[in-house]
């Protein structure tokens, strides 16, 4: 199925509000990765941030959606403390629903040559099956593959939505879709045991970012199971079109590579990501802290 054609004059956050890079930073060094998605932040130590640096990191976060901090030697508690600047910490359902052991505020991603899969190896928004999905994720890669593999790709879902034709946008505004965690578990061949459950929630297909006010395309192939009120044939046709649209155009994507001690954070409300497992037989070890959102996604009023 072909990707929806775009009208260039309708695309770009500059059309929606303030230019994405208008702020002049005084306490941090922000270097964009692409014009609309991703930036590297230099000149900071995440273990000893000043209040001024924290405020400017928040501004950069809303402008760029994905922030990369390199050469960060931080402890697990410092990692969590940095996340708490954005809100309380989210507990992954593998802890709250499946009884996973360990620190519930720290999600470990340890991929080795013995691993049967690698977490996040498909486009998704983290735990979108939760009634209140996370606000942000902060991935700290401590052990990166020596061959340069293990990148993360990110997609700007503001841009993906505004590249759709107006008739398709108008059709999507009133629709909702179900995000079912069991669909994601199936990707890992994980079967729930008797008495176990996993989150399942209904969210608008076009959401309104609570802080920027911009429209967001909010469906993903890992968790979204179907559109409410449609037949399976209709739902699959529309969702597959949207998945191909958001996944295949590099214009609203960026790619982050890692060295040891790189922390990348992203806005889970308006950015999707895909972890690339291209480094077998090498290993990649990371720890993720996730920030809880105060409320679930609201529909965008056209």
In a domain, 232, yes or no: yes
In a domain, 8, yes or no: no
In a domain, 272, yes or no: yes
In a domain, 66, yes or no: yes
Query: For residue 160, which phi and psi values (nearest 5 degrees)?
Result: -60, -40
Taking the C-alpha atoms of residue 156 and residue 170, their distance in angstroms, rounded to an integer, is 20
In a domain, 302, yes or no: no
Specify the number of domains making up the chain: 1
Length of the chain: 302
Domain residues for the domain of 215 are 27-189+199-295
In a domain, 64, yes or no: yes
pTM: 0.91
pLDDT per position in the chain (302 positions), as tens?
333 333 333 334 444 433 455 678 999 999 999 999 999 999 999 999 999 999 999 999 999 999 999 999 999 999 999 999 999 999 998 888 887 889 999 999 999 998 887 888 899 999 999 999 999 999 999 999 998 899 999 999 999 999 999 999 999 999 999 999 888 888 878 888 888 888 999 999 999 999 999 999 999 999 999 999 999 999 999 999 999 999 999 999 999 999 999 999 999 999 999 999 999 999 999 999 999 999 999 999 87
Say which CATH number the domain at 254 has.
Answer: 3.60.130.10
E strand map for the chain: 29-32, 39-42, 66-69, 107-111, 136-143, 152-156, 176-180, 200-204, 206-208, 215-217, 224-227, 253-256, 262-267, 271-275, 284-291, 298-299
Q: What is each CA distance from 302 to 12, 14, 50, 68, in whole angstroms? A: 18, 18, 40, 33
Is the C-alpha dihedral spanning 51, 56, 61, 66 positive or negative?
Answer: negative
DSSP structural state of residue 50: -
Pairing of strands 224-227, 253-256: unpaired
In a domain, 159, yes or no: yes
C-beta separation of 138 from 289 below 8 A: yes
Catalytic residue numbers?
124, 126, 273, 288
Does the N-terminal peptide bond of residue 16 adopt cis geometry, omega within 30 degrees of 0? no
In a domain, 20, yes or no: no
């Amino acid at each position: 199925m072909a990707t929806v054609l775009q009208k260039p004059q309708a695309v770009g956050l500059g059309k929606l509000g303030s230019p994405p890079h208008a702020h002049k930073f005084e306490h941090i060094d922000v270097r964009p990765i692409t014009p609309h998605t991703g930036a590297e932040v230099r000149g900071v130590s995440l273990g000893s941030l000043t209040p001024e640096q924290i405020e400017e990191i928040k501004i950069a976060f809303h402008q760029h959606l994905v922030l990369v901090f390199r050469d960060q030697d931080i402890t697990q508690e410092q990692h969590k403390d940095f996340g708490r600047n954005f809100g309380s910490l989210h507990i992954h359902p593998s802890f709250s629903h499946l009884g996973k052991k360990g620190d519930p505020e720290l999600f470990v991603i340890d991929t080795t040559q013995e691993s049967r899969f690698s977490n996040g190896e498909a486009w998704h928004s983290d735990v979108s099956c939760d009634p209140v999905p996370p606000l942000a994720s902060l991935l700290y890669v401590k052990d990166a593959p020596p061959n340069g593999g293990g990148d993360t790709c990110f997609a700007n879902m503001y841009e993906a939505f505004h590249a759709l034709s107006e008739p398709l946008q108008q059709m999507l505004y009133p629709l909702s879709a179900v995000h079912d965690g069991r669909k994601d578990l199936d990707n890992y061949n994980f079967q729930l045991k008797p008495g176990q459950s996993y989150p399942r929630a209904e969210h608008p297909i076009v959401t309104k970012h609570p802080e920027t006010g911009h429209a967001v395309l909010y469906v993903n192939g890992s968790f979204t199971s179907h559109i409410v009120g449609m037949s399976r044939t209709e739902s699959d046709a529309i969702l597959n079109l949207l998945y191909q649209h958001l996944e295949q155009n590099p214009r609203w994507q960026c790619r982050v590579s890692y060295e040891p001690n790189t922390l990348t954070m992203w806005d889970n409300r308006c950015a999707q990501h895909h972890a690339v497992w291209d480094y077998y037989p090498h290993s990649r070890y990371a720890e993720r802290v996730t920030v809880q959102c105060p409320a679930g996604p609201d529909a965008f009023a056209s």
